Amino acid sequence: MRDAASTTAGKTTSTPAHPISTTKRKAVASTPRKTSAPTSTQKKPARLAPVKRSLRPSSAQLASAPSASAPPAGHLVILPPADVLTTLRAQRERVTVTMLDPWYNKGIGGERPDYHDWLAEVVAEAARFSDHVFVWGFPEIVAHQIGRIPPTHTLAAWLTWYFKNCPSVIRGWRSAQNACLHLAHRDARLHPEHFLNEAQREKQRQGKLRYLPGPPSVIEAALIIGFVGRREQQGHPSQKPEKALEPLIEMTTVPGDTVLDPMCGSGTTGAVCQRLGRHAILCDMDEKYVQMTERRLGVKRSQG
């Protein structure tokens, strides 16, 4: 530890750190310091530039920053009205996902005695060219397809869309769910990385993420009815919210992949694909719903 320092002819000497008497302190204080006048050849000590620190942005900053890799809007093709089997049999190129959302053989859409056989045929046609097939319906309806899954595919997940706001007037248990079978080809890829939060993404970048935590198999999204989902409402009697379909497309595709929906209804699959940068092929057997999809997505149907 230095107690005091004096500069003489450019040399620096330090006084001892031990105590000295009051007389000596005064003598030291009264002695004038000899300083050498700066000459033209002497340079003043250079000032040190402040150290620049490279700080990693926080999770909040990353979350608030605009995404540099936001996908471009997906390319959409709307086909003229056609039966679902006609659309599927005409499909020649492979697609990543086929979304099957038929009427459920209850209520809207009526009933047919061979519904389970018909749906199994639809699923088999879709599996012919699809890496992933999603089959929507009431649980007691789609359960019949478990034993009829095409041999090229397996049951990847039984998904449940849960909604609290069902206005059922039935006495007893109030239905608040739809089921969706996720059938996947043995070589199909899943993308649970699309569901990581920013903290998990940072760990992944550092190589510290031990496993990829996937999303739950229960998807909670409010039923589009009344004032709920007014922005999305198109007038379709059984329209699903975009939030119910978005996890399915995120889990099975990347930007640029193609999704086929041969029973597109109000075009919800197309709306999600358009926003996420996926391509979509859309069709419905009802002219009214093809027009509804055109208006919603701002795309005219293909004439070919």
φ, ψ of residue 65 to 5 degrees: the values are -75, 145
- Predicted model pTM: 0.74
Superfamily of domain 71-297: Vaccinia Virus protein VP39 (3.40.50.150)
Q: Look at residue 210 in the predicted model and tell me its pLDDT.
A: 87
Q: Look at residue 71 in the predicted model and tell me its pLDDT.
A: 58
Q: Provide mean pLDDT across the span 40-62.
A: 41
Cα–Cα distance measured from residue 37 to residue 264, given in angstroms and rounded to the nearest whole number: 90
pLDDT at 214 over 80: yes
Q: Provide mean pLDDT across the span 66-79.
A: 68
Q: Provide mean pLDDT across the span 27-37.
A: 46
**pLDDT tens figures, 100-142:** 999 888 877 778 999 999 999 999 999 999 999 999 999 999 9
Q: Look at residue 26 in the predicted model and tell me its pLDDT.
A: 43
CA proximity to 292, closest of 259, 270, 277: 270
**pLDDT tens figures, 218-246:** 999 988 776 665 687 766 778 899 999 99
Q: Look at residue 292 in the predicted model and tell me its pLDDT.
A: 95
Q: Look at residue 75 in the predicted model and tell me its pLDDT.
A: 92
Residue type, 192: P
200 versus 43: which is more confidently predicted?
200
